A and B are shown apart, each in its own frame.
Chain A
């Protein structure tokens, strides 16, 4: 039994009351500002309060764990194993030096021990690799009061349970019905997107709005969830490109087509790259048409890195306006793992999160230069987006989630190693 200090219970009830007041205010003020596009500072305050609560909750959990002498599971964002950042050449030279009684390491071509390097590296990747991490939702170091991100559920003390219960109550009873109602009303595009943004309690910070995409261009952004669309569209007019989806998405798509010209494709048409390119080019060349919004990664990544961009959209030759989107995962994980759960489940999770906090950076427009081919151009745009958003610029294809990796990368390793063996042979024949 732990001691309930008098001021602790006071804090809990105080927090409860202040939260309720906050949400009532939100309730009242949500519709009016949405229509006029005016914002209040309330949401910033909301965010700050939430942050403080999360930090406090984590501390409580750590204390609770120490009382029971157990280990807390702390997810490491940098991997679970200790890695040496040495190159292939250095490591193999070191291995040879340490194992061999022969002094000179320049005349050796191949050693039985060379295998150790590849062996260990291989097993290291089985224990921990960069890419698989990217495809499971980002792990948080502190708990954000959503049981779905919590690993140490059983260490919660009574106080935390009360707070958590309060949180659930508020989220499911206040925020969810409110958002559901909002979600269904749509008449004007921009206004309705804005309402959605408010509905998800999305706190979006737009940077460099002077670089916003103009007509006849292509807007390119990194992709984490379908909400990316809502976030961008609430700040400008875009034409969408995408696959025709069934279900809820299909209904929304059909509704949108009626309002302004978008470019939708059947799944089979998507395979035909020339058809896609042709239609996109037609759209882009018409200067009166809205800028096309494209997510070249091809799949949802968990927003810690930017995967290789598919080159299709960069072949067209129009001006590209890159946009970087970065979510703050503490408030609600926006990542949609499409192989794990479907759209409706995802939407439900979004609606019952605390908030979606993200930053959008509009980067200056880029065009393909004369000596660049589409792939190089795509990589250039990708690096710019990654740099701006503070995301890791990965060389891997987003298709890794579903396909195996290409052989060209394996060749790189083989080339490096061959140089070590055969390169030495050449030295030998010279001397």
Chain B
């Protein structure tokens, strides 16, 4: 039947393909119908015989075959089925038959039904393998873990051989059976019935909703070549929580991993209105009935009291707490050691916090594998990141331990292991009960207690020895451990009478860790005799009769105890003097000695004994070649150097004292070895700016010789005072100054020189400011010759006030200044010259005038006083003259200047009439404006004119010019003729230009004009009696005055001339500027020197 089907199927496929290619061909359509007809005929033929043979199996051993009965066959029809399977076997069966599984390959099956016979070819490949439907034996639930446990039987005994089985399990939830999960589970059939278990943990608490479970299987027999199909699903089994009608929230107190998801539900009969996770509102997932759930995704770590989940109903609320945390971290830094070889302490760090506390906290178990013992860490809250520790009692005869530390909490567990030999991991306790006991002055015994049984190992201990003001010393000691924990050692090489502080720490060998340092133990070693005698020096008293012996107290290291007293003895060949029991604070003694050579011996004593004596000779070896040198220190000390002297066999001694102190002066001394050539002298007593005397002694044959004497400062400072100076002598151009030395105490350094400043200036107006600022008007003289005590300042100006300043300086700086004001004397030579020159000029002028007058005497006579006046020259008779026409106002006889053009002198005695044509030029009209070049002689005009002053004279504009008339006044005192500057001469001086005028001025002008000009004329023109002596009381630069600027200004002498620039006539206005030193004067004129 199947073959037929296949055969028919094959042409059918061919027809289909042709039809596809030639769909448009109608012929092919007809052919297709023809074929369909034929097939229908064949099929109807088949239906008359058994057909559609099918075989299935559910156990691979029996095939259950069935076929379709031929048409017309009723129920209960019998068939004869024969199978060719190597042998021919026939069965008489009804419609279905179970036949044993056939071997692989084709088998002919003949089914006889009456007369119709159907033949089939049966192959295993055509058989379907459908396992029996599995049956769930049991479905249980663990509500606490939300886990379903499924149990079923695989019925493997029915299968002939081992096969792999795939079980498919489906989980459904809620009453509407929503599929939650479908999972597979693989097993193997082993020929026996086997009950299988399978568990599944729900993401939702099982209490929240009913859960259903179904199962089916698929057996994969590799030898079966037929169709392997899934079994049918089993009957569903369900799990539901039997509510007691009380509202509850699930899960309760669940511990989950941080970051995971969780579903929380509320099983209730009431309507839930709100769900909160902490303070966050959550959407509700509705389950069966009023039950609701919420889903929390990626939950974060909880607080210690957990995360609250709350469901609110109408008038109540329900909740649960979720603890989100981490599984325990691997214990870190696990370390096991012992303090005392009795107990092992293991410490570790918990690592990452789990966020779980209380009963959910991590529990630790320490397991030792060799002994099989374990200890459990008792729960105690340890601050985060603090070490945990567990104690494990050591076992006798076991040194090596293999520890496993297991950490566990509800979310998981972890572990850490450590293999340790405890004898190599000894960390001793802190040594206690440290005690010190004397052995002698340089050794003590030290004992301490170290808990533990170290009898089998060696200890390495370290002793720290501290001495005051000294570097601490560490001494390592190896000792055998003891059982009783008491240890004792001797500590030597100590100093007598010294306070020591001891402390101890220990470790073991091999080294692992030091213990902590023990408490410090302080101890004072006993005294010993002083190791050396005191450092000794001697000085003779000022009167030379007594010898003063000095010694220094011994240092602590040298004294070896408390120095109680000193013994001093002086011995010579003849006698010995002793001073004993000089108590300690005293460090000098005075003994009356003659000038013999004594050896002084000083011994220090403490409670144990006396020191070796220190010896020094009383007398000094003279030294004739001694110079005093200077030295300057470095602030805190002073460096002294000297040349090496092989003769000095003992040592060198430098003593020093303050130079201002009286002899014997000794501040301190210092001894240096004989091979030294320099030393730095330092002392707390040194002060800057203080002069000290240093004396270098060399020692040979126990006698000291003064080699050098040095004065010096550790640091130079500026002088504190200025040198006192006085003016020894003053002249017109120089000042001699003398000053005194500055005392040493105030000098505060080596004097390097003086600075002398001077400048012009008076006390009130001049301040010597900014001496060092380089002012150009200040002159400075640097006197570096400190032996110089005088200074003459030359090239000064006479009668000038000078400001003098003197200051001293050292390398430490400039001292203060001292100043003085001095006025130089007047220059007498200049004064004389100023008097003589005007006199000489006047004489010369007089002589010249006399000569001229003598030579022109006739002309003068004719001109000015002829014997017979010429009437033509009389202006009174020239009314109609054109000369007078210009003035219509002249109605009366006016005595105008009438210059005759020709003067004819009739001299009978003269042989030849002499006519002189003299052109008389009006001084007003024809005088050149600039008359500065006019010689005095030019003003002598040979003419005659009545002594009339023209109107222009009264012109106020000419008043000032009138002031410039050349009337000469003589300085009564100086007798010098003043010399006017050319530019100060009047430009237009009709009066001055009119030649000589007597000092008696006859005013002829109008009364009004006269009145107006009267005052001016009084000031400017004409002779003026020198009655107003008050006006002489003026300041003049050449007026001598006191050096004291505050003294009254005394003016003497008289004004020289109205033409003088000096104050001849006092100004009316008091505000007029007074004369200053910068004004012009005769003395200035003659001196003509620069200011300097």
* Pairing of A with B: no
Q: Which residues on A are within 8 Å of B, measured CB to CB?
A: none
